[in-house]
């Protein structure tokens, strides 16, 4: 005896389940907010020291974390502009922290660690987005031709 087959609403390959749009929108919002929250943690740990030497380990976490956030967004959306939302939220947090607070407090100082954090947070994720936007479609087009 065989098990009865159940007809699915969207049986064509590459289709999404019926409730995926709402879950995808919610997940995209969570990932964008996570970009802002990850920046907050990275900015707080940026002035860490190993003995008397500055050791900005949070810059490495920014590089890996933003790439993972972009990869997470790529499972939800297909447009590169939408995949960049966590990195854009991360950059908004970076720009906000460049200004002084109400009491004159400065979160991101004028040391060498601040540009390092910016470069590590933006460049790897930007390279991934560039690769997905321009390199992979160009390779697919040359294979078809």
User: Quick check: is 82 in a domain?
Assistant: yes
**What is the C-alpha separation between 6 and 66, in angstroms, rounded?**
40
Confidence of residue 33 (pLDDT cuts 50, 70, 90): very high
Q: State the total domains in the chain.
A: 1
Mean pLDDT across 18-42: 89
**What is the C-alpha separation between 47 and 138, in angstroms, rounded?**
42
User: Quick check: is 80 in a domain?
Assistant: yes
Instruction: Give the domain range for residue 126.
Output: 29-133
User: Quick check: is 124 in a domain?
Assistant: yes
Residue 109: predicted pLDDT: 86
Residue 18: predicted pLDDT: 73
- Nearest Cα to Cα of residue 50 among 105, 110, 108, 113: 113
User: Quick check: is 76 in a domain?
Assistant: yes
User: Quick check: is 6 in a domain?
Assistant: no
Confidence of residue 16 (pLDDT cuts 50, 70, 90): low
Residue 15: predicted pLDDT: 66
Mean pLDDT across 31-60: 93
Plot region of 71 (φ>0 → left; ψ -120 to 50 → alpha; else → beta):
alpha
User: Quick check: is 7 in a domain?
Assistant: no
Q: What is the DSSP letter of 53?
A: E
Buried b (16+ CB within 10 A) or exposed e, 53-67: eeebebbebbbebbb
User: Quick check: is 12 in a domain?
Assistant: no
pLDDT > 70: percent of the chain: 88
Average of per-residue pLDDT values in the chain: 86
Mean pLDDT across 53-64: 93
Residue-wise pLDDT for 102-117, tens only, equals 888 888 988 999 999 9
Q: Which whole-number Å values give the CA distances from 67 to 17, 35, 78, in the listed order?
A: 27, 10, 16
User: Quick check: is 9 in a domain?
Assistant: no
């Amino acid at each position: 005896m065989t098990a009865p087959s159940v007809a699915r609403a969207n049986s064509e390959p590459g289709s999404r389940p019926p409730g995926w749009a709402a879950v995808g929108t919610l997940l995209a919002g969570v990932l964008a907010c996570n970009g802002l929250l990850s920046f907050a943690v990275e900015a707080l740990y940026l002035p860490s020291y190993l003995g008397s030497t500055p050791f900005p380990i949070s810059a490495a976490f920014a590089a890996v974390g933003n790439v993972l956030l972009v990869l997470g967004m790529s499972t939800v959306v297909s447009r590169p502009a939408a995949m960049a939302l966590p990195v854009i939220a991360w950059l908004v947090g970076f720009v906000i922290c460049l200004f002084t607070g109400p009491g004159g407090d400065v979160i991101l100082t004028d040391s060498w660690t601040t540009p390092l954090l910016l470069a590590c947070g933006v460049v790897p994720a930007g390279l991934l987005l560039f690769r997905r936007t321009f390199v992979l479609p160009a390779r697919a087009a040359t294979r078809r031709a």
